[in-house]
Amino acid sequence: MFQSPKGMHDILPSEWPTLEKIYKAAKEVAEFYNFSRVETPILESIDLFVRGVGEATDIVEKEIFVLKTKGGDKLALRPELTAPVIRSYLQHGLHRLPQPLKLFYFGPLFRHEKPQAGRYRQFNQLGFEIIGGEGDPLYDAQSIIVAYRFLEEVRIKNLTVQVNSIGCRVCRPNYRRRLIDYYKKQKVCRDCTRRLEKNPLRLLDCKNTNCAQIKLGAPSILDSLCTTCKRHFKEVLEFLDEVNIPYSLNPHLVRGLDYYNRTVFEIFTEGNDLALASGGRYDYLAEMLGGRSTPASGVAAGIERIVETVRNEPVFQNQRIKPKVFLIHVGEVTKKKGLSLIEEFRKEDMPIFEVLGKDSLSAQLERAAKMKSPIALIFGQKEAYEESIIVRDMETGVQESVPLSKVIEEVRRRLK
């Protein structure tokens, strides 16, 4: 028997009500904070990620799924959506719209990671990007606020934000030097020996237990920030204080993507060491992709991690089924007429259940009870002949025959 590919999952009907609630909350939060929806293709040129996310990141080095088209182009299944959104912004000249442009998106992405709880090869993100404008620290704070409020909206409690600044083109080289000096004296893993050469900041991101221990003694980037970056960071924190968003400073937080500068952050809930949402400022990304300099900041939340967190919350468990009438038919003729009656109900925007594929009356009545339908409409041979239908109150069992032409009116009256 076939199985879904490793690390990739079906989303079954039972899971959709929870997801729908999450997406509804996302849309409401996006609308309130004035984000407009954008959608980009699942496939993009691989160079977009090599240049945008960075050649020496785990995402590009180890995790990207690449395919070759028949024409010989190399396309990647997107491993993240910030670079595609900026590609789209540049391609369509969206800088001509009022700035900053606030965009949000939902969608699947792909990373060839080692599958485990909360870490999949195909997963979904909800993202918010604030693009253009003046690079104001306010937008860094707003990226955190929108994600935080969304997580609160889906009833996730005990949220904490870890935040750091990784400086800019001016001050980061100093920090890199301090980091290299420190790490040269340590015995790190094979990957980190390579990182030391190619991308020293990534040393702080290593998951190896020994390297995690070494990281604790590494110099803090906050001591190396230039005056402008220090001021920017201070203002971000002041904005967070203003709206009572609790945060803690994590000077070793560097994130796994190379496009960030200044503020970076991750949002957690108590008892889970995988981030629910993460993001930061990325002022250089548009230039890295060949566009004009465009300050920006943003955040993305992992939908699967959110579902796993809220699944057992009572609001997500009690899925209320809206009461609907249930159409029961007896015989072939009524099956055909039943089908057209359903269309009549649709025209009137009145929901209706049916199992026209089942012929047994008792099986259909059983299903009507299971679906908690308050009314069953019983359509037998005699009724079809007389152009009438039986309306049965499912609670009392009382039945009444009404003309077919009046059934919608009658149901509407009873369901009022």
Residues near ligand HAM, by CB under 6 A: 80-82, 111, 113, 118-120, 123, 125, 127, 129, 256-257, 275-280, 282, 298-302, 304-305
Whether 221 and 166 have beta carbons less than 8 Å apart is answered as yes
Query: Min. distance of Cβ 115 from ligand HAM in angstroms?
Result: 8
Q: Which amino acid is at 364?
A: Q
Count Cβ atoms below 10 Å from residue 186 Cβ, excluding itself: 16
Q: Which of 347-354's residues contact partners 24+ apart within 8 Å by CB, and which partners?
A: 348/408, 348/412, 350/325, 350/408, 350/411, 350/412, 351/322, 351/324, 351/325, 352/324, 352/325, 352/326, 352/327, 353/324, 353/325, 353/326, 353/327, 354/326, 354/327, 354/328, 354/329
Nearer to ligand HAM, 158 or 381 (CB): 158
Cα–Cα distance, 332 to 223 (Å, whole number): 81
Residue type, 186: Q
Q: How far is the CB of 63 from ligand HAM (least distance, A)?
A: 8
- Shortest distance (Å) from residue 275 CB to ligand HAM: 4
Nearer to ligand HAM, 305 or 324 (CB): 305
Minimum CB–partner distance for residue 388 and ligand HAM (Å):
56
Residue 292 tokens read as 């004009």
CB of 65 to ligand HAM, least distance (A): 12
Query: Closer to ligand HAM at the Cβ: 151 or 368?
Result: 151
Confirm if 94 and 11 have CB atoms less than 8 A apart: no
Q: State which residue, 129 or 258, has the beta carbon closest to ligand HAM.
A: 129
Closer CB to ligand HAM, 125 or 364, in the complex = 125
Nearer to ligand HAM, 94 or 300 (CB): 300
User: What is the torsional sign of CA 115, 121, 124, 127?
Assistant: positive
**Interatomic CA distance for residues 103 and 34, integer angstroms:** 8
Residue closer to ligand HAM (CB basis): 282 or 284: 282
**CB-neighbour burial class of residue 44 (10 A; exposed 0-12, middle 13-18, buried 19+):** buried
Residue corresponding to tokens 């955190």 = 144
Distance in Å, CB of 129 to ligand HAM, minimum? 5
Q: Which is nearer to ligand HAM, 48 or 376 (CB)?
A: 48
Quote the least distance from Cβ 127 to ligand HAM, whole Å: 5
Name which of 309 and 334 has its Cβ closer to ligand HAM: 309
Helix runs in 94-189, H state only: 137-153, 172-184
Q: How many helices (H) and strands (E) are present in the chain, helices listed first?
A: 16, 16
Vertex 18: Cα angle to 12 and 22 (nearest 5): 125
The residue nearest ligand HAM at its CB is 302
285 in Cβ contact with 84 (< 8 Å): no
Shortest reach from residue 305's CB to ligand HAM, in Å: 5
- To ligand HAM, the closest distance from the beta carbon of 32 in angstroms equals 19
In angstroms, give the least distance from the CB of 73 to ligand HAM. Answer: 23
The C-alpha atoms of residue 276 and residue 279 are separated, in whole angstroms, by 11
Closer residue to ligand HAM (CB): 121 or 329:
121
Query: Do 373 and 411 form a contact (C-beta atoms < 8 A)?
Result: no
Which amino acid, one-letter code, is at 209? T
